[in-house]
Amino acid sequence: MSGPNGMLYGGDEIGALVFDPGHHSLRVGYAQEDTPKADIPAVIGVGPATHIPDAEEKVPDGNVTQSATKKDELRYYIDVTELHVPRPNMEVQTYMKDGQIDNWDLFEKMLDYCYSKVIRSPSEHHPALFTEAVWTTRPAREKLAELLFEKYQAPAFFLVKNAVLAAFANGKSTALVVDAGASQTSAIPVIDGYALTSAAARSPLGGDHLASQAKLLLANMHIHMLPLYSIQSKEVIRERERARYTPRILPAGLTSSWQQYMLKRQYEDFVHTVAQVSEMVYDERTAASVPGVHYEFPGGYHQDFGPERFKLTECLFEQTLGAPHLVCAAASACDADARSALWGAVVACGGVACTAGWMERLGKELAARAPSAHRLKTSAPPAHSERRFAAWIGGSILASIGSFQQMWISSQEYDEGGKGQLERKCP
């Protein structure tokens, strides 16, 4: 913390936790670490508690958060090991809506899971830092503070905009943050560690949209995507040959929401493996000259994907909804004095930003659109995990800085001032 020469360096760790709820997953872990402890899908399986697991399902009982006691009580299945098991009548629900926490009961279950299974430490020992979307409404923020202080007895709590944290993770306090997430893409100017809420621009093009595009693409190519859980075994076949597999005997009564969710994961995997963003606007000929990428579907069918994989991602760079346009819109909504600093620090983060070629394309498009008076610089951490977890990492950095420790809303302050002070303390 302090050196022999009286200089102060490093941070001060007070055992804080950082939560970064997103549409695709919730990241949770200790501040001062470089990656979150857990990256949990942001959906919860809700099924009847009476269900007795079949022999072939092999449910690890220890991981069940809510022990089933009564007949009419529901059981919640959280995290992939629990969630990805086919169970009759298990509905998949999400607690997120439009970048904010919407279903508080479900979210409580998630927090319970985090504290008991991930952190494995009582919540009253750890100050909690939450990230939030820039457009989070006041009731949602206050509700979260209330939940943390009253239910979880957190010693301290703080809320920061995820764009600010992403900028911090990139070592910047002034940046134009492009967050290409699952449900939406947004461009948010951050000045001196404050997000400019009125200048933020966003569009519903995100990873989910990409997955649905992939679904459309495969349907057009007459490729049937089978969910992984439905395959018992498969045979090795030649390329483009008809798949030969043995379907698995599934329990009756699988809900469509769960099936849809599992299929979506499959499409996401397809996108993750195959999709690439072309450097320039999609051109059939240049795309065809790039070697294809091989993909094997869960059923065993496999083939090379050539120009399709470039065509797939073109929707992300749509003229009026794509990231470049959002950046321009956000920058031009800012004060003229701030613009050159913002153009000089365009920071990309989010899961979609990990798509191959996405950064290069963004850089190219911005160079074409940005006013020539500015020096344009786009940056993103090279490691994919750092791009995906940028907001969490920023939170981890912030919560472990010594001079930040005065910013927390402590439980004493909450008891005295109530949740009304949240707007003042967490700008």
Partner 1 sequence: MADILDILDIEQPGASEITRDSIIHGDKAKKKYVTAKTVRRPEGMHREVFALLYNDNKDLPPLLPTDTGKAYKQTKAKLGMRKVRKWVWAPFTNPARKDNAVFHHWKRASDEAKEYPFAQFNKQVSIPSYSESEYNQFLKSEDWSQAETDHLMDLCQRFDLRFIVIHDRWDRAAFRDRSVEDLKERYYNICAILSKVKTNPWSNSVTMVNGEKRVYHYDAEHERKRKEQLKRLFDRTQEQIDEEQMLLAELKKIEARKRERERKTQDLQKLISRADSGNGIVNNQTSIVNEGANTPTGSTSTIARRHDRKLHKKKLTAQQRPVRTVEAVTVEWSGIKFPEARGAGVWLRSQRMKLPPGVGQRKTKAIEQELRLLNIDIAPTPTEAICKHFNELRSDLALALDLKNALASCEFELQALRHQYEALNPGKTLTIPASICNTNVDAEIKPLGEIIDVVGSPSALNTTI
Q: With respect to partner 1, which residue has the nearer C-beta, 130 or 305? A: 130
How far apart CA 20 and CA 165 sit, in angstroms, is 10
Least Å distance, CB 171 to partner 1, is 18
Burial code (b: 16+ CB inside 10 Å, e: under 16) for 150-164 equals: eebebbbbbbbbbbb
Burial code (b: 16+ CB inside 10 Å, e: under 16) for 237-276 equals: beeeeebebeeeeebeebbebbbebbbbbbbbbbbbebbb
Q: With respect to partner 1, which residue has the nearer C-beta, 24 or 419? A: 419
Dihedral pair phi/psi, residue 142, rounded to 5°: -65, -35
Q: With respect to partner 1, which residue has the nearer C-beta, 247 or 417? A: 417
Placement of tokens 């008076």 in the chain: 373
Least Å distance, CB 205 to partner 1, is 24
Asked if 354 and 387 count as a contact pair (C-beta separation under 8 A), the reply is yes
Least Å distance, CB 346 to partner 1, is 16
Least Å distance, CB 398 to partner 1, is 13
How far apart CA 187 and CA 330 sit, in angstroms, is 6
Least Å distance, CB 424 to partner 1, is 7
Q: With respect to partner 1, which residue has the nearer C-beta, 6 or 291? A: 6
Least Å distance, CB 116 to partner 1, is 21
Residues that bind partner 1 (CB under 8 A): 1-2, 8, 12-15, 127, 155-156, 191-192, 194, 196-199, 332, 334-339, 371-374, 401-403, 405-406, 408, 410-413, 416, 424, 427
Q: With respect to partner 1, which residue has the nearer C-beta, 306 or 402? A: 402
Asked if 356 and 387 count as a contact pair (C-beta separation under 8 A), the reply is no
How far apart CA 287 and CA 39 sit, in angstroms, is 34
Q: With respect to partner 1, which residue has the nearer C-beta, 296 or 413? A: 413
Placement of tokens 């709590």 in the chain: 157
